């Protein structure tokens, strides 16, 4: 079955490429499932030392597929609750992943395209990268622990611009905020990110992973915040306000 996630290997680096360029790499449930499988594969395989996430067709990801979102909301409303979605399971898997994560970002990085970067050890961007966390605009709340991590990384004032006003920001701004390590020309981005992933993979493994654990520290607060976000997210996802926002978004994407 076509999952639109291409998984490959370059030595000790596992590469997961989001490959749905005709839909700006918007993520469906099936795509999240394949990403979860890829992270599980990387965790189990001792020969994998690092994971590189990238998009295809000049786009990282436009975020969640809104059609899937609406279907999930409707199913949750009929069932009287929101089941654990592939997206929520991917978020938890990403936060708990124990090997280095690298992202190569070009073009749109919307929603999860931005929030997953908080969980990456290294993030490289092209000059045309455009980050945005438009959750409030859709009548929902942030995910992936970003309501905790954005204020810690950016400071409260700047985090308010990007979470409350939901303003987009470019690669230079992301670098200044400490979300992006370096900006590379589009033609060089993947090669550079892969080179950095290879450099991590060549380090003494136990020292690398122990240092990463020490840098991340106690994850209790992050896990608790993610639980809070997902509970609020699930409740708001079925609200009339969110459904109206989703329907308006879908209508704006129809031709004519």
> Does residue 44 form part of some domain?
yes
Burial class (CB in 10 A: 0-12, 13-18, 19+), 254: exposed
**Confidence at 73, pLDDT banded by 50, 70, 90:** low
Average pLDDT, the chain: 91
User: What pLDDT digit, counting tens, does each position of 161-210 carry?
Assistant: 999 999 999 999 999 999 999 999 999 999 999 999 999 999 999 999 99
Closest CA to 147 of 49, 226, 232, 234: 226
In a domain, 109, yes or no: yes
Quick check: is 60 in a domain? yes
**Residue 256 pLDDT class (50, 70, 90 cuts):** very low
Residue 198 lies in a domain: no
13-39 confidence digits (pLDDT tens): 999 999 999 999 999 999 999 999 999
The pLDDT assigned to 253 comes to 64
Q: Is residue 197 a part of any domain in this protein?
A: no
Q: How far is CA 248 from CA 53, 71, 87, in A?
A: 31, 15, 22
Question: Among all chains, which residue has been given the structure tokens 């609406």?
Answer: 70
Displacement of CA 196 from its chain's centroid (Å): 19
In a domain, 57, yes or no: yes
Q: Report how many domains make up the chain.
A: 1
Q: Residue 78 belongs to what domain range?
A: 5-187+204-252
Residue 68 lies in a domain: yes
Average pLDDT over residues 121-128: 98
138-156 tens-digit pLDDT: 899 999 999 999 999 999 9
User: 30 in helix, strand or coil?
Assistant: helix
Q: Name the percent of the chain lying above pLDDT 90.
A: 78
Question: How far from each other are the two terminal CA atoms of the chain, in whole angstroms?
Answer: 32
Residue 113 belongs to a domain with what CATH number? 3.90.226.10
In a domain, residue 89? The reply is yes
The reported pTM is 0.92
8 A C-beta contact, residue 157 and residue 201: no
């Amino acid at each position: 079955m076509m999952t639109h996630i291409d998984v490959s290997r370059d030595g000790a680096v596992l590469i997961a490429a989001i490959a749905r360029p005709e839909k700006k790499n918007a993520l469906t449930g099936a795509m999240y499932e394949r990403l979860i499988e890829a992270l599980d594969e990387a965790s189990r395989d001792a020969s994998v030392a690092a994971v590189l996430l990238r998009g295809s067709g000049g786009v990282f990801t436009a975020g969640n597929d809104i059609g899937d979102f609406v279907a999930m909301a409707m199913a949750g409303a009929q069932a009287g609750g929101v089941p654990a979605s592939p997206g929520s399971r991917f978020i938890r898997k990403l936060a708990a992943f124990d090997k280095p994560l690298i992202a190569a970002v070009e073009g749109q990085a919307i929603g999860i395209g931005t929030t997953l970067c908080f969980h990456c050890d290294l993030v490289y961007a092209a000059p045309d990268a455009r980050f945005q966390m438009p959750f409030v605009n859709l009548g929902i709340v942030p995910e992936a622990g970003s309501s905790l991590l954005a204020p810690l990384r950016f400071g409260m004032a700047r985090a308010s611009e990007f979470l409350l006003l939901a303003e987009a920001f470019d690669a230079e701004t992301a670098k200044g905020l400490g979300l992006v390590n370096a900006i590379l020309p589009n033609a060089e981005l993947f090669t550079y990110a892969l080179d950095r992933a290879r450099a991590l993979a060549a380090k003494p493994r136990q020292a690398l992973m122990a240092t990463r654990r020490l840098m991340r520290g106690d994850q209790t607060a992050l896990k608790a915040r993610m639980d809070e976000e997902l509970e609020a997210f699930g409740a708001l996802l079925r609200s009339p306000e969110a459904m109206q926002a989703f329907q308006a978004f879908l209508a704006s994407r129809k031709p004519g």
